[in-house]
Amino acid sequence: MKGDADKLSDIFAALASPTRRAILVRLAEGDATVNQLAEPFNLKLPTISKHIKVLEHAGLITRGHDAQYRPCKLDVKPLQAVSDWTEQYRHIWEERFDQMDDYINQLNNQETDNE
């Protein structure tokens, strides 16, 4: 079984592609077949299938069995790992935004004083 760091790398690699992110956005609306997922793209089915395999490998989608069809379904659990990883840096963002806010207030006060 892969370690958490390896799995997170797979997830980030899958999310690095705008096409794969667009597929996830579409699947957030509901399950879809490969043909349905391919419709908005100017790509051949084998190319879309490769994107789907990357998303499956990362655990971001699953494939069901519905008669002859294998609809794709979004699995949001791996996105929680991304959220947890980025959350550890929230205090840094907030501190930098606070610093920027202080600087902007200083500039506004200087501008008011000069009028």
Which residues are within 8 A (CB) of 19 and not within 5 positions of it... i.e. 6 or more apart? 41, 43, 51
In the chain, alpha helices (H): 4-15, 18-28, 34-38, 45-57, 77-87, 90-113
Report the chain's C-alpha Rg in angstroms.
21
| pLDDT > 60? residue 112 | yes
Chain segment 9-33, per-residue pLDDT in tens: 999 999 999 999 999 999 999 999 9
Domains of the chain by range and CATH? 4-113 (1.10.10.10)
Name the residue among 78, 28, 22 with its Cα closest to residue 51. 22
Q: What's the whole-model pTM score?
A: 0.75
Chain segment 49-94, per-residue pLDDT in tens: 999 999 999 999 999 876 677 899 999 999 999 999 999 988 888 8
